[in-house]
Amino acid sequence: SVDSLDFVSMDVLFGNNQQVQIFDRNGRTVWYQLLSVPGIPCLGYKWTKNNTLLYLHASCHTIEEIDLAGNVLRQVEVSNFPVQYYVHHEFLLNQAGNLLVLVAEGRTIDKSSVGGPADAQVVGDGFLEIDWQGNILRKWSAFDHFDPLTSVDLNNYWDEHFGPGAEDWLHANSLAIDTDGHYLLSMSIPNQIVKIHRETGEILWTLGQGGDFTILPPDAVFAGQHSVTGLGDQHYLLFDNKGGLADGAYSRTSEFVLDEAAGTATLVYTQEANQAIYTPVVGGAQRLPNGHTLTCFGQKGVTKEADENGQEVWSLNLANFSYRAYHLPTLDPAIAAPQPAAFCISPDATPFSPTVEPDGGYFTGDYIFDGLFDPQSAGLGEHQVWYTFGWESFPLTITVAEPMAAPAIVQVGALLTASGGSSYQWYLDGEPIPGATADTLLAEEEGFYSVEAFFTTGCGALSESVYVSLVSTTTEAAVQFDLFPNPTSGLVELRSSVALTGKVFVFDLYGRLIREDLLQETRNRSWELHGLPPGCYLWKLETQKGTAVKRVILQ
């Protein structure tokens, strides 16, 4: 027992059924779900960050997502691909919400050149990115990058699915997304981990026996590994099933740091090396938020947590075969209800996913297609959809409104004025200016200024940028004058304590020049504004001493 409010999930097998259980840290079962699966290789299951469960169902033909109430949220058929792919071991959601699935693929290979049959059935591995309609968006195959003539029929693992004598060439058993977005594939028969470029599919490096790195120290070499994950900064964690055989048969968790320039992979952490627990198949490792490491010794049904020094601090023994264990920080996250969102429709509007915190949930309701809200189908007005995160759901109002015209900025020296919105946010060089939410702004720094206007619908529109240079601009203290009365019903009088010589320009709020006058040693001047529409007008006075701007409201 440990003083913790988090949870650990493990699975156990009962005949052709797999039971996924969640335990508290005192070993008490707090949740379970009985899954109908035919066993190996359909044992894979995965928790999402929303505490929903992904698992293979019905002879590895369907992937289902269920919530903690047991409701089936989504499912996709994975047995109708044009190529004979067989999904196994690993599947996970990527950032786009699509599924990455590990697949086996059988091909007939002529191995007569290496003393084998001319029609050998070789089973290689790869992975697919698919959407929830079963469409293949991306694929990668080991046949395109490795030589299948190296395959050796070590077992009858795939005989049931690819026929008697099918050769288990690589036996991939885990797939992960590295912290830089590239893919990590574990292949247990060659005892290698492969890093694959997420766009090109090229192999960036291989780690393991015969790989691109020298493993240090030599006795840290791993074999039959599972559950490879990237930790960042070139650190990688894995469950080493058989690496300890030379020391007397034990399994362990290992963390390596790679030095690509030196070509070395150095062991920097291991969980209780030389322990008397050996699980030649299955198992997994997970780094926890507190820096500890969770290790599942699957064939023995034992899960252990170790601290940063590899010393055990917690364990759970089910005394039954378990494929993998996962750490769950919480089962009941505190979720703030999502706030209403607004989206301004345009002629080329496309379906979108509203930004909601916490992200990672999914949307349901009218006009939701493939998890996206379609504003064109919905039409103008308010529309209610539901956002589900974990086992909680919240209503979300989406307002679809006509697109708003971008606000214009009237620039008079360093004074910037916007119009058209009910509220504003000013930006300098693309960054919001704190507190700059009025319709006018006196620029205090040189740079590109823009303004976002928000309307009563909740929608916003961003202006074009204007550049403000302060090189020749002076403050109003250098050019002193006042305008009376302000507001005014028509007559405006300029008053100054000193004689002014220069030019006066009067602009409306759209930047249009209304009038222009010369001042010659003038202290007083009046203008009649009758006939002009009510609104805001700007007086710009340019003299040899500098420039000053004042605003007058015409009622």
- Percent of the chain exceeding pLDDT 90 equals 40
Span 221-262, pLDDT tens digits: 999 999 999 999 999 999 999 875 655 668 999 999 999 999
Span 307-364, pLDDT tens digits: 999 999 999 998 888 889 999 988 865 444 555 555 666 656 788 887 776 666 778 8
Average pLDDT, the chain: 85
Number of domains in the chain: 4
CA of residue 511 relative to chain centroid, distance:
43
Q: What is the DSSP letter of 262?
A: T
Q: Which of 18-22, 109-113, 504-508 has the lowest mean pLDDT?
A: 504-508
Average pLDDT on 498-521 reads 82
Q: What CATH number is associated with residue 239?
A: 2.120.10.30
Does 424 fall in a domain?
Answer: yes
**Quick one: 507 and 458 in the same domain?**
no
- Percent of the chain exceeding pLDDT 70 equals 88
Q: What CATH number is associated with residue 549?
A: 2.60.40.1220
Cβ atoms 35, 356 nearer than 8 A: no
Q: What angle do CA 392, 394, 398 make, to 5 degrees?
A: 150
Question: Which tokens hold the place of 156?
Answer: 């009858």
Radius of gyration of the chain (CA): 34
**Quick one: 28 and 132 in the same domain?**
yes
Cβ atoms 182, 195 nearer than 8 A: yes
Q: What angle do CA 346, 352, 357 make, to 5 degrees?
A: 125
Note the pLDDT of residue 324.
92
Query: DSSP string of 11-75?
Result: EEEETTEEEEEEE-TTS-EEEEEEEE---TTTT-EEE-TTS-EEEEETTTTEEEEE-TT--EEEE
Closest residue by Cα to residue 454 from 474, 479, 471, 432: 432
pLDDT band at 475 (very low <50, low <70, confident <90, very high): very low
Cis peptide before 329 (omega within 30 of 0): no
Note the pLDDT of residue 537.
81
**Quick one: 70 and 178 in the same domain?**
yes
Look up the pTM and report it: 0.62
Residue 444 CA to residue 464 CA, distance in Å, equals 19
**Quick one: 430 and 547 in the same domain?**
no
Higher-pLDDT residue of 527, 209: 209
Instruction: Reply yes or no on whether the pLDDT at 476 is more than 50.
Output: no
Residue 376: which H helix or E strand, with range? Answer: helix 375-378
Note the pLDDT of residue 474.
43
Span 166-205, pLDDT tens digits: 999 999 999 999 999 999 999 999 999 999 999 999 999 9
Residue 296 CA to residue 304 CA, distance in Å, equals 7
Q: Which of 229-233, 395-399, 423-427 has the lowest mean pLDDT?
A: 395-399
Give the list of residues 6+ apart from residue 205 with CB closer than 8 angstroms, or none: 194, 195, 211, 212, 213, 258, 260
Among the candidates 264, 296, 328, a domain finishes at 328
Q: Is 447 exposed, middle or buried (0-12, 13-18, 19+ CB in 10 A)?
A: middle
Instruction: Reply yes or no on whether the pLDDT at 103 is more than 50.
Output: yes
Containing domain of residue 550, as a range? 482-554
Does 64 fall in a domain?
Answer: yes
Instruction: Reply yes or no on whether the pLDDT at 371 is more than 90.
Output: no
**Quick one: 368 and 271 in the same domain?**
no
Question: Which tokens hold the place of 117?
Answer: 């049959």
